[in-house]
């Protein structure tokens, strides 16, 4: 084999690791979850490592004789250089005292080679004008993220004992108790936080559903505002239904007390300029990020979330308004497509360690019932949406259907699914004129 001197490779280290496995068969137990077969640059070394893994899987030792016999039985012995090559490798085992650190070093070199290879692939993608650029960009990002995932896998064990987990939980609970920190992220709505066990949790997909005019967009964007203002964490809103300017006008309306329609028309009273200016001063420094691009694909959203994290750091929330606008509802297989998008959003929430609130329409079947409070099956083209969601919240305003209701200016938030907690209903005050919801117990 001709070795490219510029590549990050250590042939002797590969020999020391393999020699240690044959000299001390128990050594394999310390690296089997760390070291990939492909981390060996020399092909014969990859074959020998595969042999050792196969022997270990069958509960057999990985000593010199066992390795030699297995390779011979599978007609690989000559491919690795014969018995003499195996004997030379075993000799290197005497020199390896810390096989785990050696295995990590081999993985580091392997990942470095993977980066070089990815760079070459990405360059080729750049020249390939036969494919859509968005598909190529996502493929390029996947090349890098796959390497990062392999890197993460080398740093932690995927199987943990209950004893170790309990120690970690105890330390975490003790720390949170002593520091008054919260592992959840507050929505800014106290009763909703209580219902959800403290607020939103990282890695969760939250579906916020409602019929038109129920106020789901206001709630979703209000939560984004609350998180950005109270915690200082950046929040990212994908606004498919309205422009970024319209969204910010709603925020300014809530902060200034000036109705949305008057702000949009630019018809302010002389006395309103001061609260309007103060509202601009409050909103401007907040880390609320808005993407109002039309009809983004799931791939584009995934890419933009990653880019935002790279630029602004860990996000406090991602809001998508709303799910059904991501597909053409006139096409076939809409349910299947929406289910796939919701699955990708769930994976994105876990990958980027951020709660994702995805707004969704409810079907018209709600209107056909006497009791119009929504239920889980009312999610439009539900399919797998409800299955992929960790939490499903429904928005209902009785005054929309019943003009004589006693619950005027009240919205019910009905939690119909909570994978890790209770379900139930809480109420919020509505102020639709100024595009905001308020805590019922803290009316202002």
- Whether the pTM exceeds 0.95: the reply is no
How would DSSP label each residue in 120-184?
A: HHHHHHHH-TTS-HHHHHHHHHHHHHHHHHHHHHTTS-S---HHHHHHHHHHHHHHHHHHT--SS
Q: Is the pLDDT of residue 380 over 80?
A: no
Q: Which positions ≥6 away from 7 have C-beta within 8 Å?
A: 41, 113, 116
Q: Is the pLDDT of residue 329 over 70?
A: no
Catalytic residues: 241
How high is the pLDDT of residue 280?
A: 86
Q: Is the pLDDT of residue 90 over 70?
A: yes
Angle, CA of 389, 395 and 401, to the nearest 5° = 145
Q: Is residue 388 within 8 Å of residue 342, measured between CB atoms?
A: yes
Q: Is residue 202 within 8 Å of residue 185, measured between CB atoms?
A: yes
Average pLDDT over residues 224-231: 88
% the chain with pLDDT above 90: 7
Rounded to an integer, what distance in angstroms lies between the CA atom of residue 170 and that of residue 176? 10
How high is the pLDDT of residue 265?
A: 80
Confidence band for 47, pLDDT divided at 50, 70 and 90: very high
Q: Is residue 88 within 8 Å of residue 45, measured between CB atoms?
A: no
Rounded to an integer, what distance in angstroms lies between the CA atom of residue 313 and that of residue 304? 13
Confidence band for 443, pLDDT divided at 50, 70 and 90: very low
How high is the pLDDT of residue 55?
A: 86
Q: Is the pLDDT of residue 377 over 80?
A: no
How high is the pLDDT of residue 40?
A: 92
Q: Is the pLDDT of residue 110 over 70?
A: yes
Q: Is the pLDDT of residue 152 over 60?
A: no
* pLDDT per position as a tens digit, 173-201: 666 667 665 678 888 898 888 888 888 88
Q: Is the pLDDT of residue 101 over 70?
A: yes
Which CATH number is associated with domain 190-442?
3.40.50.300
Average pLDDT over residues 194-222: 87
Alpha helix (H) residue ranges in 257-297: 260-265, 273-283
Average pLDDT over residues 313-320: 88
Average pLDDT over residues 273-302: 83
Average pLDDT over residues 213-225: 87
How high is the pLDDT of residue 328?
A: 67
- Residue 306 has a CB neighbour count (10 Å cut-off) of 16
Question: Taking all residues of the chain, what is their mean pLDDT, rounded to a whole number?
Answer: 81
How high is the pLDDT of residue 236?
A: 92
Rounded to an integer, what distance in angstroms lies between the CA atom of residue 381 and that of residue 351? 26
Collapsing DSSP to helix, strand or coil, 413 comes out as strand
Confidence band for 444, pLDDT divided at 50, 70 and 90: very low
Average pLDDT over residues 208-212: 84
Q: Is the pLDDT of residue 369 over 80?
A: no
How high is the pLDDT of residue 438?
A: 87
* Domain parsing of the chain, residue ranges: 11-113, 190-442
How high is the pLDDT of residue 311?
A: 81
- Residue 255 has a CB neighbour count (10 Å cut-off) of 20
How high is the pLDDT of residue 331?
A: 64
* pLDDT per position as a tens digit, 20-38: 888 887 788 778 778 888 8
Q: Is the pLDDT of residue 45 over 90?
A: yes
Which CATH number is associated with domain 11-113?
1.10.860.10
Which has more pLDDT, 7 or 147?
7
Q: Is the pLDDT of residue 2 over 60?
A: no
């Amino acid at each position: 084999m001709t070795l490219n001197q510029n590549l990050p490779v250590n042939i002797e280290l590969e020999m020391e690791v393999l020699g240690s496995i044959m000299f001390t068969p128990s050594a394999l137990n310390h690296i089997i979850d760390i070291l990939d077969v492909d981390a060996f640059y020399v092909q014969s070394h990859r074959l020998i490592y595969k042999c050792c893994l196969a022997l270990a899987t069958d509960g057999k030792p990985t000593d010199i004789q066992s390795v030699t016999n297995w390779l011979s039985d599978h007609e690989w012995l000559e491919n690795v250089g014969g018995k003499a090559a195996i004997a030379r490798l075993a000799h290197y085992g005497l020199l390896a005292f810390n096989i785990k650190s050696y295995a990590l070093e081999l993985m580091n070199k392997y990942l470095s080679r993977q980066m070089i290879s990815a760079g070459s692939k990405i360059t080729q993608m750049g020249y390939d004008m036969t494919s859509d650029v968005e598909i190529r960009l996502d493929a390029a990002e996947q090349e890098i993220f796959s390497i990062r995932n392999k890197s993460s896998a080398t740093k932690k064990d995927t199987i943990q004992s209950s004893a170790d987990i309990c120690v970690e939980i105890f330390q975490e609970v003790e720390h949170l108790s002593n520091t008054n920190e919260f592992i959840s992220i507050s929505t800014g709505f106290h009763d909703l936080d209580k219902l959800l066990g403290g607020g939103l949790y990282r890695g969760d997909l939250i579906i916020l559903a409602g019929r038109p005019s129920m106020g789901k967009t206001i709630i979703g964007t209000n939560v984004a505002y609350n998180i950005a203002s109270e915690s200082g964490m950046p929040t990212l809103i994908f606004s498919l239904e309205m422009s970024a300017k319209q969204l910010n006008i709603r925020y300014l309306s809530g902060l200034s007390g000036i109705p949305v329609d008057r702000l949009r028309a630019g018809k302010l009273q002389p006395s309103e300029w001061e609260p309007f200016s103060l509202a601009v001063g409050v909103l401007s420094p907040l880390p609320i990020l808005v993407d109002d691009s039309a009809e983004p694909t799931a791939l584009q959203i995934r890419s933009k979330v990653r880019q935002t994290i790279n630029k602004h750091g860990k996000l406090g929330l991602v809001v998508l308004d709303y799910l059904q606008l991501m597909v053409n509802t006139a096409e076939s297989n809409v349910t299947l497509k929406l289910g796939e998008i919701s699955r990708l959003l769930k994976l994105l929430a876990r990958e980027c360690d951020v709660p994702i609130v995805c707004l969704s329409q409810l079907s018209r079947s709600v209107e056909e019932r006497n009791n119009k409070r929504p239920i889980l099956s009312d999610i439009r083209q539900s399919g797998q949406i409800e299955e992929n969601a960790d939490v499903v919240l429904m928005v209902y305003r009785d005054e929309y259907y019943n003009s004589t209701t006693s619950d005027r200016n009240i919205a019910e938030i009905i939690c119909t699914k909570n994978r890790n907690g209770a379900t139930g209903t809480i109420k919020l005050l509505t102020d639709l004129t100024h595009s905001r919801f308020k805590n019922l117990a803290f009316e202002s």
